[in-house]
């Protein structure tokens, strides 16, 4: 078992989101070699489609931390008619509970909502604590 992988990251497939997530994780000291990234349309909304993959990382590599990222202006949420921050946060919290229930070895789940910075300024990553 490789001791290197410490975390699992789930985020939307949007390329600009991926760059922002990578920068955020590097900023908190988690370098790319120490986490796996799972990209699915809609991020936490589609957690079930990648739950098995997350479980493989947890069981095979021993990852104990999970980071879940959603972003405003998501085409999946828009297509469902509700791209509100509240809808994202509800989905993020539900996904977090599902991971903790399914994989008791996960000791930390952190959830984040990302806002667009106007005029092409990228994304502001905000941790959801409640």
Domains and their CATH numbers in the chain: 7-128 (3.40.1050.10)
- Tell me: pLDDT of 1 over 80: no
79-113 pLDDT, tens per residue? 988 889 999 999 999 999 999 999 999 999 999 99
- Tell me: pLDDT of 2 over 60: no
pLDDT-based confidence at 71, cuts 50/70/90?
very high
- State the DSSP string of 27-66: HTT--GGGEEEEE-TTGGGGGGGGHHHHHHIIIII---EE
CA distance 128 to 69: 10
- Tell me: pLDDT of 65 over 80: yes
9-48 pLDDT, tens per residue? 999 998 889 999 999 999 999 988 899 999 999 999 999 9
pLDDT at 35: 93
CA distance 72 to 96: 18
For residue 52, what are the contacts with CB-CB under 8 A and spacing of at least 6?
none
**62 in Cβ contact with 110 (< 8 Å):** no
Please indicate whether residue 3 or residue 88 has the higher confidence score (pLDDT).
88
């Amino acid at each position: 078992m490789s001791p290197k992988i410490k975390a699992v990251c789930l985020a939307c497939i949007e390329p600009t989101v991926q760059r922002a997530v990578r920068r955020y994780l590097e900023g908190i000291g988690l370098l790319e070699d120490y986490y796996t990234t799972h990209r699915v349309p809609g991020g936490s909304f589609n957690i079930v489609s990648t739950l098995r993959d997350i479980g493989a990382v947890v069981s095979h590599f021993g990852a104990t931390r999970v980071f879940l990222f959603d972003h405003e202006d998501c085409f999946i949420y828009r297509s469902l008619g509700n791209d509100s921050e509240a809808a994202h946060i509800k989905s993020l919290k539900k996904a977090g509970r599902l991971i903790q229930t399914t994989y008791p070895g996960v000791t930390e789940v952190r959830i984040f909502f990302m806002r667009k910075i106007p005029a092409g300024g990228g994304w502001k990553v905000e941790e959801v604590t409640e």
